Structure 1
Amino acid sequence: MSPRAVEQEGFAALLLRLRAEGISSKELLNAVEQTPRTLFTPPQFQENAYSSRLVPLDCGSFMEGFDFTVRLLHHLSLKPGQRILEVGTGSGFTAGVMGRIAERVLTIDRYKTLVTGAQKNLEKAGIRNVIVRHADGSIGLAGEGTFDRILVTAAFSSLPRVFSDHLVSGGVLIVPIMMSETECRIVRLTRTGSRFDREDLFEAPYLPIVPQLASFL
């Protein structure tokens, strides 16, 4: 099956699954459709590009299942004109979809290998408003101002206060939290002034965040 046929079939199947969950944002789904996931998936795993399975990447990282990624973005409630911070770049696919909607996306990863690969993938997809940076996501990102949305894709042991100053009032932070040694759950925080409202969403496959830049990869 050609890559284009894989994309069309995979997206059609996704629409049916998401509709059953009540996810129907045209803006989000258009952004997903315009960002071919096959461009971000390693060649040996192309057949799983549109599946719900985890797809292995370099450096022990992975691409989340396709449904899971869209579910995350649905709860992020992206809007045009927003500034987005993503902690954990991976293949660059999630940042690419966000870049189709938002004004600017800054995505960071501790692995130089992933940063380089994501930059190439985004270039292939023709997405130019996503900046990929090699940085330590465990300590926040000083000097970059504030963001309307922050998406973290590595788990913290408790709510990370390091991101509170990065979020505007009315902004949303989505972060995985380790509830136990084996259970990780996605948590959404919405900032209103100095108050943060918490909502626990669903279980996630993420591993605990690793501090500092990777020494070799």
Structure 2
Amino acid sequence: MATKLQEREGFAALVMRLRAGGVTNLDLLSAVEATPRSLFTPSHLSPYAYSGRSVPIECGAFMESADLAIRLIDILKVKPGQRVLEVGTGSGYTAAIMGRIAERVLTVERYRTLADLARRRLSELSLQRVVVRQADGREGMSGEGTFDRILYTVAVPEIPRARVEQLVSNGVIMAPLIREGARPLMVRMTRIGSRFERQDLFEVPYIAAERGLSKAL
């Protein structure tokens, strides 16, 4: 893990980039400041924790750049009192940030190793409002009720119907949609009664979701 000085310098540089990009939500920036990103980064890569690049982690996965992670949460508009579902825990960093704002965050991950590591990191930060579960993110989450916000950090051909049915009215779901010959496109869908308003955002580097749980990792 990086030193406190490295954390402060990395955070300061990140905030400057975020504000230049229009991210000014003080609750969000305070959550970022309170969550040392190097805790979620492999120790030998901690110098890149706050960089604008993706960082490889366990199980052949990666954590998106700090800039992208925070930008997505800002667009998702996570607020106090909300219930949030994240599909694709990865390092646990995005769930940790959202868990400092929302009432409850359920994050699901198909790799047992990633889920266990995320739980350990979140426990170290005493983030009790975040629940990590090893589960198939492509399937429905029975018994969990509805969510105000849903965020996918794995790419899918289309937003699963099971997820749509778990979104409250005026709720928002964001997911990277797979496109032939191009990187996935992050899409924001807002539920208004029985219909949805779609907003196409930008390309993202997420990999395609796999079905089922990982049995080896």
TM-score between both structures, scaled by the size of structure 2? 0.97
Q: Kindly indicate whether residue 169 of structure 2 is the aligned counterpart of residue 155 of structure 1.
A: no
Match of 2:188 in 1: 188
Aligned to 1:170: 170
Match of 1:113 in 2: 113
Letter in 2 for 1:126: S
Any conservation in 1 of the 2:2–2:47 contact (CA below 8 Å)?
no
Query: In structure 2, the residue corresponding to 1:101 is in which secondary structure?
Result: coil
In the alignment, what sits opposite 2:66?
A: 66
SS at match of 2:144: coil
Q: Report the counterpart of residue 78 of structure 2 in structure 1.
A: 78
Deviation for aligned residue 1:80: 0.3
Q: RMSD of aligned C-alpha atoms? A: 1.2
State the match for 1:24 in structure 2: 24
Q: Following superposition, which runs of at least 4 residues in structure 1 exceed 6 angstroms of deviation?
A: none
Show the counterpart of 1:90: 90
Q: Which runs of 5+ in 2 are unaligned?
A: none
Q: Helix, strand or coil: the match of 2:11?
A: helix
Counterpart of 1:27, as a letter, is D
Helix, strand or coil at the partner of 2:168: strand
TM-aligned CA distance change 1:121 to 1:2, over 3 Å: closer
User: 1:123-162 residue pairs with structure 2 within 5 A?
Assistant: 123-162=123-162
Paired residue for 2:12? 12
Per-residue CA shift, 1:27-80, capped at 9, x if unaligned? 110011111101111111100110111111111111100100011001010110
> 2:15 corresponds to which letter in structure 1?
L
Q: Report if the CA contact (8 A) 2:2-2:38 is conserved.
A: no
1:87 and 1:159 mapped to 2: Cα distance? 12
Show structure 1 runs of 5+ residues with no match.
Answer: none
Residues of 2 paired with 1:50 and 1:3: CA distance? 13
User: SS state of the match for residue 141, structure 1?
Assistant: coil
The CA deviation at 1:182 is: 3.1
Could you tell me the TM-score, scaled by structure 1's length?
A: 0.97
Structure 1 residue 115 displacement after superposition:
0.5
How many aligned positions are there?
217
Alignment deviations for residues 149-169 of structure 1 (CA, whole Å, 9 cap, x no partner)? 001110011232221111000
Who is 1:212 aligned against?
Answer: 212
